[in-house]
């Protein structure tokens, strides 16, 4: 078996195509893992071919099974009704176990487009991440991990809306001294973290905005921000950067990192105008002369493919007053991501992340000596390898499906069919409270006591104590506390802290990643904080158990050795081996569909199968022969590698002991 573990499938498909007289593609599509463990692999080709040949499927399957043209690793081919079932040889399993342990490229997919750009989580820079933002962040992070595991180059990008009304309101709030903005209180242990402070002030400001003078002052700030006028532009940029840095402390605690952050103000002052001119020149959008959209630049989509039956499908890109809509700016930004616009940004290092990689942020040409620089960070004067992607994936809520379709439609109208087809919207449903969606303005992410609902006793939502809010920081802090209480072994305080933090991260990430992204989650602290059953810690425990077995084997002077050609696998060993065989298919299907939950399900299944193996199959006991010990240690190492691959994609920290 070659280092590419899917080669056996190609060989089997070629043999089946020759045997049945069909195309290689038809044969390949018919091969699949069995739904029950009656064989190692099977084909349902007889169903479709029987219709073509006007004969019984079972008769065709029996004829094919009787032929002797199968690859050497096929020990037996048999017909079971209309199915053609294959049983593989011991040498096949030996090679598979060996590859899964020793081949770093095992499971990688060939011939994928070079670069995928993933934009996430794009949280407004004036508040802390709440658990809804966290779902976006772990989805985007795990998707990047998944595509990297499948062999693709990935770029993690964050879009920072630093020109929005919310930022202007926060800037106004920062200007108010000795006011309610400074006295907004919280019992949270994160009450001094800048994003939490800014978020609470924003809630206070939102309560003042109905006052005419406040609204006028905020609108004036918006105008100055959009025009880049000083000192407001610098004040706003500094506020945003400080908030993002605080938000990224949260990201780092969950193992989430980025390559580059692109600020909306830089888009507007650089690439947007070029994008707008190209849209106009292509005729993809037109200037309306009459009707409700008079004097607006509009992309006409009424009745077009993908927009059938929609009322008001046409989308305004530029309003009659000359200002751009969010979609107008997003189209230009998407064009830049594909390399269809000149990269006129310069870049500054925002910070060095715990993974030792620098997260860069965009700037505009004024930083090259044409005017004051809002940021105090040094400027990179050399080109940066950002954007110019072959696939662009935007991790955005499902309610944004229409504007995301508009972006692709505009690019298609411009003649960029390939890029339009490579615009992927990873749509996810929101995390909500029993009483509804989160509201940054209303502060529903804060604790009940901070919202003025009392400072003791249980809250009405999600089994939440009134002193605990719904921020990602507080969720991890509480989970870490509960995990620490569960550690009974004699570890040092540092070890306990390290283990509890890893367990907490695994529990939370897995809880968000296992459901289909399109499934709405009603947040409940009691369920989110569970360690039992189908959970991230359960997967961690299987990995740690495998690690301990291998450690004991090493202490006994034993080395894993793949099973020999005459080694007979028992039922539990075979179940593990069949999981190894399925991994490339799971990886390929998940990567091609941009789905994370199949990886979570498969990793959980692998952990379960390993635990079943461990409880029924002795590895190091005296009753096991040296050859069996070596073979079973290799199976443990293969299972550990398999579980570890899933954990890497899901972002579950690995523990050698628990």
pLDDT digits (tens, 9 = 90+) for 546-577: 999 999 999 999 999 988 877 888 899 999 99
- What pLDDT, on the 0 to 100 scale, is given for residue 439? 74
- What pLDDT, on the 0 to 100 scale, is given for residue 651? 98
Please give the average per-residue pLDDT across 389-407, as a whole number.
Answer: 96
Model confidence at 30: pLDDT above 80: yes
pLDDT of 498-520, one tens digit each? Answer: 999 999 999 999 999 999 999 99
Least confident among 135-139, 285-289, 485-489 = 485-489
Region label for 283, one of left (φ > 0), alpha (ψ between -120 and 50) or beta (otherwise): left
- Residue 331: name the closest of 386, 222, 413 by CA: 413
Per the CB < 8 A criterion, the answer to whether 250 and 313 are in contact is no
Model confidence at 465: pLDDT above 80: no
Distances (CA, A) of 51 to 47, 48, 54, 57: 7, 6, 5, 8
Please give the average per-residue pLDDT across 458-466, as a whole number.
Answer: 47
- What pLDDT, on the 0 to 100 scale, is given for residue 458? 39
Please give the average per-residue pLDDT across 167-187, as a whole number.
Answer: 73
| Cα separation, 226 vs 37, whole angstroms | 63
Prediction pTM value? 0.90
* DSSP structure string for 218-258: HHHHHHHHHHT-TTHHHHHHHHHHHHHHHHHHHHHHTT---
- What pLDDT, on the 0 to 100 scale, is given for residue 375? 46
Structure tokens given for 641: 């590698």
Model confidence at 539: pLDDT above 50: yes
- What pLDDT, on the 0 to 100 scale, is given for residue 107? 66
Model confidence at 171: pLDDT above 80: yes
Q: Which domains does the chain have, with CATH numbers?
A: 7-88 (3.30.1360.70), 115-432 (3.40.50.620), 536-650 (1.10.730.10)
What band does 528 get if pLDDT is binned at 50, 70 and 90? low
| Cα separation, 404 vs 330, whole angstroms | 9
What band does 110 get if pLDDT is binned at 50, 70 and 90? low
Model confidence at 583: pLDDT above 70: yes
What is the distance of C-alpha 256 from the center of its chain?
Answer: 10
Model confidence at 148: pLDDT above 80: yes
- What pLDDT, on the 0 to 100 scale, is given for residue 4? 41
| Cα separation, 623 vs 625, whole angstroms | 7
Residue 628: Cβ within 10 Å count: 17
Relative to beta strand 41-43, strand 31-32 is antiparallel
- What pLDDT, on the 0 to 100 scale, is given for residue 1? 37
Crossing angle for the helix pair 45-53 and 57-65, to the nearest 10 degrees = 110
Q: Which residues of 150-170 are buried (b: 16+ CB within 10 A; e: fewer)?
A: bebebbbbbbbbbbbebbbbb
What band does 382 get if pLDDT is binned at 50, 70 and 90? low
Distances (CA, A) of 278 to 271, 330, 341, 417, 532: 11, 14, 9, 15, 55
| Cα separation, 270 vs 228, whole angstroms | 12
- What pLDDT, on the 0 to 100 scale, is given for residue 447? 72
Model confidence at 211: pLDDT above 50: yes
The more confidently predicted of residues 189 and 567 is 567
- What pLDDT, on the 0 to 100 scale, is given for residue 181? 55
| Cα separation, 53 vs 618, whole angstroms | 51
Model confidence at 109: pLDDT above 60: yes
Per the CB < 8 A criterion, the answer to whether 348 and 360 are in contact is yes
- What pLDDT, on the 0 to 100 scale, is given for residue 84? 96
Least confident among 75-84, 362-371, 401-410 = 362-371
Cis peptide, bond prior to residue 121, ω within 30 of zero: yes
- What pLDDT, on the 0 to 100 scale, is given for residue 282? 96
The alpha carbon torsion through 32, 33, 35, 38 (nearest 10 deg) reads 120
Per the CB < 8 A criterion, the answer to whether 236 and 171 are in contact is yes
pLDDT of 613-658, one tens digit each? Answer: 999 999 999 998 999 999 999 999 999 999 999 999 999 999 998 8
Residue 235: Cβ within 10 Å count: 17
Please give the average per-residue pLDDT across 113-118, as a whole number.
Answer: 88
Please give the average per-residue pLDDT across 214-227, as a whole number.
Answer: 91
Per the CB < 8 A criterion, the answer to whether 45 and 30 are in contact is yes
Segment holding 392, helix H or strand E = strand 391-397
pLDDT of 222-280, one tens digit each? Answer: 999 988 899 999 999 999 999 999 999 999 999 999 999 999 999 998 899 999 999 99
What band does 323 get if pLDDT is binned at 50, 70 and 90? confident
Model confidence at 532: pLDDT above 80: no
Q: How many residues does the chain have?
A: 658
Give the percent of the chain with pLDDT over 90: 65
- What pLDDT, on the 0 to 100 scale, is given for residue 5? 45
Give the percent of the chain with pLDDT over 70: 89
- What pLDDT, on the 0 to 100 scale, is given for residue 370? 41
| Cα separation, 202 vs 167, whole angstroms | 9
Q: Which residues of 55-93 are buried (b: 16+ CB within 10 A; e: fewer)?
A: eebeebbbebbeeeebbebbeebbbeebbbbbebbbbbb
Please give the average per-residue pLDDT across 394-422, as a whole number.
Answer: 96
Structure tokens given for 343: 């990269």
């Amino acid at each position: 078996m070659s280092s590419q573990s899917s080669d056996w499938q190609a060989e089997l498909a070629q043999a089946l195509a020759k045997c049945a007289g069909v195309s290689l593609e038809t044969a390949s599509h018919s091969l699949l893992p069995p739904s029950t463990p009656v064989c190692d692999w099977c084909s349902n080709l007889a169903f479709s071919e029987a219709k073509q040949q006007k004969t019984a499927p079972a008769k065709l399957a029996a004829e094919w099974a009787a032929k002797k043209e199968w690859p050497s690793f096929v020990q037996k081919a048999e017909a079971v009704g209309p199915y053609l079932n294959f049983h593989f040889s011991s040498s096949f399993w030996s090679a598979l176990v060996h590859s899964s342990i020793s081949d770093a490229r095992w499971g990688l997919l060939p011939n994928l487009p070079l670069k995928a750009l993933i934009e996430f989580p794009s949280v407004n820079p004036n508040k802390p991440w709440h658990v809804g933002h966290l779902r976006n962040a772990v989805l985007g992070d795990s998707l990047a991990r998944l595509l990297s595991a499948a062999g693709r180059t990935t770029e993690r990008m964050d879009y920072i809306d630093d020109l929005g009304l919310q930022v202007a309101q926060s800037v106004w709030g920062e200007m108010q001294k000795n006011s309610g903005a400074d006295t907004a209180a919280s019992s949270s242990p994160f009450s001094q973290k800048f994003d939490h402070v800014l978020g609470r002030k924003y809630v206070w400001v939102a309560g003042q905005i109905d006052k005419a003078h406040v609204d006028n002052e905020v609108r004036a700030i918006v105008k100055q921000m959009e025009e880049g006028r000083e000192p407001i532009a610098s004040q706003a940029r500094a506020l945003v950067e400080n908030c993002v840095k605080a938000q990224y402390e949260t990201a780092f605690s969950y193992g989430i990192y980025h390559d580059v952050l692109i600020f909306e103000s830089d888009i507007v002052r650089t690439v947007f105008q070029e994008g707008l001119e190209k849209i106009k020149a292509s005729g993809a959008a037109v200037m309306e002369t009459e009707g409700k959209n008079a004097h607006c630049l509009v992309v006409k989509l009424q009745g077009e493919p993908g927009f059938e039956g929609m009322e008001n499908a046409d989308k305004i890109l530029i309003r009659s007053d000359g200002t751009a809509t969010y979609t107008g700016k997003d189209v230009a930004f998407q064009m830049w991501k594909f390399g269809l616009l000149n990269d006129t940004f310069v870049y500054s290092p925002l910070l060095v992340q715990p993974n030792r990689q620098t997260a860069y942020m965009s700037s505009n040409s004024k930083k090259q000596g044409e005017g004051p620089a809002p940021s105090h960070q040094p400027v990179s004067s050399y080109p940066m390898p950002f954007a110019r992607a072959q696939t662009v994936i935007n991790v955005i809520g499902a309610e944004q499906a229409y504007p995301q379709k508009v972006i692709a439609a505009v690019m298609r109208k411009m003649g960029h069919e390939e890029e339009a087809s490579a615009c992927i919207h990873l749509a996810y449903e929101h995390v909500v409270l029993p009483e509804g969606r989160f509201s940054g303005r209303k502060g529903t992410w804060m604790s009940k006591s901070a919202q003025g609902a009392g400072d003791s006793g249980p809250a009405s939502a999600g089994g939440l104590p009134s002193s605990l809010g719904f921020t990602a920081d507080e969720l991890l802090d509480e989970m870490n506390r509960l995990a620490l209480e569960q550690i009974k072994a004699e570890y040092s305080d540092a070890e306990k802290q390290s283990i509890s933090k890893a367990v907490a991260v695994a529990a939370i990430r897995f809880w968000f990643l296992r459901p289909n992204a399109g499934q709405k989650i009603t947040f409940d602290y009691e369920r989110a904080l569970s360690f039992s059953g189908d959970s991230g810690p359960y997967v961690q425990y299987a990995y740690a158990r495998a690690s301990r077995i291998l450690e004991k084997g090493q202490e006994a002077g034993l080395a894993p050795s793949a099973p020999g050609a005459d080694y007979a696998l028992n039922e539990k060993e075979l179940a593990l081996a069949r999981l190894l065989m399925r991994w490339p298919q799971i990886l390929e299907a998940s990567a091609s569909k941009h789905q994370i939950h199949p990886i979570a399900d498969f990793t959980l299944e692998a952990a379960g199968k390993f635990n079943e193996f461990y409880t029924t199959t002795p590895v190091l006991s005296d009753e096991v022969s040296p050859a069996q010990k070596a073979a079973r240690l290799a199976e443990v190492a293969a299972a550990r590698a398999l579980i570890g691959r899933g954990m890497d994609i899901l972002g579950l920290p690995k523990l050698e002991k628990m």
